[in-house]
Amino acid sequence: MDRSPPALSVVLPSLNEEETIADCITKIRQVFADLGTEGEIIIADSSRDRTPEIAASLGAIVVRPEKMGYGNAYLAGLARARGTYVVIGDADNTYDFLEIPQLLAPLDAGADMVLGSRLRGTILPGAMPALHRYIGNPVLTWLLNRVFHTHISDSHTGFRAIRRDALECLHLKTGGMEFASEMIIEAAIAGLRIEEVPITYHPRLTPSKLQSFSDGWRHVRFMLLYRPVPFLAVPGLFFAFFGLSLMLLFLVRGDVETYRFHSFILASLAFIGGLEGMLMGLIIRVFSVVHGYGRQSAAISRLLNYNILEWGIAGGSLMMTAGVIVGLGIVYQWAAAGFGSLSQIANAVWALALFLAGIQILFAAVFVSMMLLKADQKEE
């Protein structure tokens, strides 16, 4: 029996697509015949209807993902694919699989991955809601391009082709809708050559399974997982430095409670909020490295040193102690005044700011230490 790999694998995730799966498989078979190539069709199915039976009757390979989810379906299907080229697309017939040769041509010319762009192609009436076409997809694509230095027009197209050797360079693991972003992000990080071709996008025959706002947020959250430093840490550092500088300036000039009280309050908010944003960005960056969603840089390597974390715990404890001392000083003066009226608002703000900053730094250092402990246990 010939076990040599086919030239082309087409992988389709499916969830209750009994109305369209036959049309999709028929078109793919027609492409195989037109190209005169050997191919395989893999249906990663999680349906409760007749989709898997129909697909199997038409000669497709049906695999059953262990978990539900768009990404889990693709992970199961791609693990089974053996083709030199791999094409992926939805089983709802919104993509015209007769256009597969258009995706393969750039691969033959040297591209590593090809995206079928709906926004540069033709979107038939009723195929894409206006919210997705004019706001959702363009905004998310712009954000991905800016953060990961890509130059694509439709980052959420589900119609793609990739070379087998390029696919093996991608560390794909996401089980949900974020898989669409993960594939492009991993390709960008790996330095793969990504090209686009215009395609035609057709209306669905059955209701869409997408949830506009929750799925959109999932993609933003996933990009944040890969790049928390520009999203959170850098802006946080700026606001923390700006707020603390103003607080110190007001302290030196004096008369805070008389002339600059409201500005002083805003400066303390900028300091505490900025510090929280910076620490959250660093925590997310450590989380992404520990769980394989990013490469470990020299700066992160230094941050992951236990000695640095111990310094963080010590520094946070000292700031908390300073806040407590300032607070106790206020209580002492209040007692000395016979527990009468007291004007110590500025000192109270300093006490609160120092205590909150210290506890944030302390908890961040402890939390990062716990993540590293978990990572060390996995390595053992």
pLDDT, position 368: 84
pLDDT, position 302: 67
In a shared domain, residues 369 and 267: yes
The domain boundary residue, chosen from 226, 256, 273: 226
Judged against a pLDDT cut of 80, whether residue 375 lies above it is answered with no
pLDDT tens, position by position, 306-344: 667 788 889 999 999 999 999 999 888 878 777 766 677
In a shared domain, residues 121 and 153: yes
Judged against a pLDDT cut of 50, whether residue 26 lies above it is answered with yes
| 312 found inside a domain | yes
Judged against a pLDDT cut of 50, whether residue 300 lies above it is answered with yes
In a shared domain, residues 110 and 172: yes
| 1 found inside a domain | no
| 64 found inside a domain | yes
Judged against a pLDDT cut of 70, whether residue 190 lies above it is answered with yes
In a shared domain, residues 182 and 301: no
Judged against a pLDDT cut of 80, whether residue 259 lies above it is answered with no
Reported pTM = 0.80
pLDDT tens, position by position, 135-164: 999 999 999 999 899 999 999 999 999 999
State the pLDDT confidence band at 301, using cuts at 50, 70 and 90. low
pLDDT, position 379: 47
Alpha carbon separation from 211 to 70, 141, 253 (Å, rounded):
13, 17, 54
In a shared domain, residues 66 and 213: yes
C-beta separation of 181 from 155 below 8 A? yes
pLDDT tens, position by position, 92-109: 999 999 999 999 999 999
Structure tokens at 267: 């400066």
Q: Please choose, from the candidates 342, 294, 322, 319, the residue with its C-alpha nearest in 3D space to the C-alpha of residue 173.
A: 294
In a shared domain, residues 182 and 213: yes
Quote the mean pLDDT of the chain.
89
- For the chain, the residue count is 380
In a shared domain, residues 102 and 179: yes
In a shared domain, residues 40 and 174: yes
CA distance 45 to 42: 9
The domain boundary residue, chosen from 189, 205, 226: 226
In a shared domain, residues 136 and 116: yes
Structure tokens at 218: 């999932």
In a shared domain, residues 363 and 244: yes
- How many of the other CB atoms lie within 10 Å of CB of 308? 12
Residue range of the domain that includes 241 = 228-379
Alpha carbon separation from 62 to 12, 40, 92, 175 (Å, rounded):
10, 11, 16, 19
Number of domains in the chain: 2
**Percentage with pLDDT > 70 across the chain:** 92
pLDDT, position 182: 94
| 294 found inside a domain | yes
pLDDT, position 295: 65
217: Cβ contacts below 8 Å, ≥ 6 apart? none
Structure tokens at 338: 């016979």
Taking the chain, what is the end-to-end CA distance rounded to the nearest angstrom?
Answer: 42
| 297 found inside a domain | yes
Q: Please choose, from the candidates 199, 62, 76, 215, the residue with its C-alpha nearest in 3D space to the C-alpha of residue 136.
A: 215
The domain boundary residue, chosen from 196, 226, 256: 226
CA distance 367 to 371: 6
CATH number at residue 158: 3.90.550.10
| 2 found inside a domain | no
In a shared domain, residues 183 and 276: no
When comparing pLDDT for 243 and 336, which is higher? 243
- How many of the other CB atoms lie within 10 Å of CB of 134? 12
Structure tokens at 335: 């007692």
In a shared domain, residues 145 and 159: yes
Judged against a pLDDT cut of 80, whether residue 377 lies above it is answered with no
| 289 found inside a domain | yes
Judged against a pLDDT cut of 60, whether residue 358 lies above it is answered with yes
CA distance 85 to 165: 9
C-beta separation of 274 from 239 below 8 A? yes
| 303 found inside a domain | yes
